[in-house]
Amino acid sequence: MHGKSKMDQKLFQDHGIAVGGTSPKGRRKLNFVEKKEKLPLNGKSIFVDVKEKSQCRSITEDIKRLGARADEFFHKDINYVITSNRTSKPDKREPFQSPESPSIVSTPSPFNCGPSPSPASGSIPPPESTNPVLTNAENWGIKIITLDVALKWIQREISKLPPVNTNVKTKGSNLRGSYKDGIDGKQARRTGSSSPLGELFDHGLDSWATLFLPVALYSIFGRGEYGVGVFRVYFIVTGVMLCFILSHWEKYNTKILFLPWGYDLSQLAMTGVYLLTFVGGHDLWKFKFPVIDMYCSEVIEIVMYVGFFVLTFPATFWNIYKSYRDGTGKLYGPWEMLRPLVSTFLLFSLMVVWARVSTCQVMELQPRLFYWTTGTAFSYIACRLIISQMSDTRCELINWLILPLAAIVAASSLLSLGQLEVYLLWAYCFLVTAAHIHFGVHVVQEMCDHFKISALTIKPKQ
């Protein structure tokens, strides 16, 4: 029996189940231990010799995701040095490649997992550098890797990593949020708490949500072979925002808010995608459709554009046309009719130009920050349009947030700013976020004072 128990214990451990301790009834407890994924830089120690702080921080985070330990202090036990020193002459072989592993040889890596060759052997030409880190690395036989080579390999390996696992409880909130967004008006009328403040709350937060939904959807596919580029995702994000602003532009001209079916269908489709991903994992979407020879992410991209140009845009233009034909709208002239869209189109155009002319590829370096900045600035502009169409006042032509953005884009176009663009993006992001929160808080306070209501409580019906 004792020998059988040992055999059972080994069998469990081979399947990732640890046997240990006893339950209150004296039975064995099975502790399910998740097997760790083998990462390309597991157990390796790397020193990052890069002066640019933001770039150094980004590389450090990436190599940690690949399993390495990023040491802050340089010592003899370091395996590799990543340096931005252009005068160094590191090993010309692929730096992260393990000569003992055939599976890694098939995908060359700049990080050689074997011992670093000694400079005395003549396999590495001695670099002409006054950098003490590089000098000590040569003397101690630590492998030196240039920044450009390391970045290419790191970006390739990061793209192979699976996205963060989707959780059915988290993604289920998407369906709950959609359901509550549909019943909030009915609940307000039932409790007698319906007011213009509720309408501003509802649509104002919806304008901000247009940022998160498409970004969350494309996080399932990642940025690798089976995903799409950050620039293409950005156009999908702006397409969703454009659908939202056109609905309120329509109300600005027709006095009627018409919400197309595209929003409801997209919510149901996204919930289905999240649930399937929870059941089958992100690998479920890693295939090509046989006839059209396209990946799932590309097919969803096409479906999104079909929703824009078939389900949303035609309905908006048709309703505006009918209001002019039947004389039921505000009957503005052409310039006044298009006035609410000027700031939105300037925002999208300037951000796209910035992404294209950037010397450091700012969108590639900080895609989520770029999306967040665009979405928050868009929500700020959309909320002002919502207030204009609610109060039947003239909409502003150019929002003031466009002016600093235009200055940043002009500087990026005329000057080679390099990594300074990342700091400018962060600065503009903080400005936009602070302005939007300040605007929202003070508008809500003023509306509560005007209507003599409380924003977060409901008075009992008399």
Question: Token pair 């001695």 is at which residue?
Answer: 126
Residue 30's CB is within 10 A of a number of other CB atoms, namely: 13
Dihedral sign of CA atoms 295, 297, 298, 300 in order: positive
Q: What is the mean pLDDT of each run of 10 residues along the chain (462 residues)?
A: 46 44 45 56 86 80 85 84 67 47 44 45 46 83 85 80 55 65 73 78 84 81 77 90 90 82 72 78 79 85 87 89 89 90 95 92 90 94 90 89 95 89 94 94 88 78 64
pLDDT at 436: 94
- pLDDT of 17: 42
Q: In which residue are the tokens 């140009």 written?
A: 309
DSSP 148-210: HHHHHHHHHHHHHSPPPPP-HHHHHHHHHHHHHHHHHHHHHHHHT---HHHHHHHHHHHHHHH
Query: Which structural domains are found in the chain, ordered by start?
Result: 40-89+130-158 (3.40.50.10190), 183-451 (no CATH)
Residue 32: the pLDDT is 40
Distance CA 327, CA 325 (A): 6
Contact in structure between 10 and 25 (CB atoms under 8 Å): no
Q: How far apart are CA 308 and CA 246, in angstroms?
A: 11
Helix (H) or strand (E) holding 279: helix 261-280
Nearest to 405 by CA among 390, 438, 380, 427: 427
For position 21, what pLDDT does the model report?
46
Q: Are 401 and 436 in contact (CB under 8 A)?
A: no
Confidence at residue 383, expressed as pLDDT on a 0 to 100 scale: 92
Q: How far apart are the first and last CA of the chain?
A: 76
Q: Which two tokens stand for residue 216?
A: 């969350």
The 3-state DSSP class for residue 31 equals strand
**What is the pLDDT at residue 206?**
84
Q: Is there a contact between 163 and 282 (Cβ–Cβ < 8 Å)?
A: yes
The distance from CA 373 to its chain's CA centroid, rounded to whole angstroms, is 11
Enumerate the β-bridge partners of residue 82. Answer: 48, 145
**pTM passes above 0.85:** no
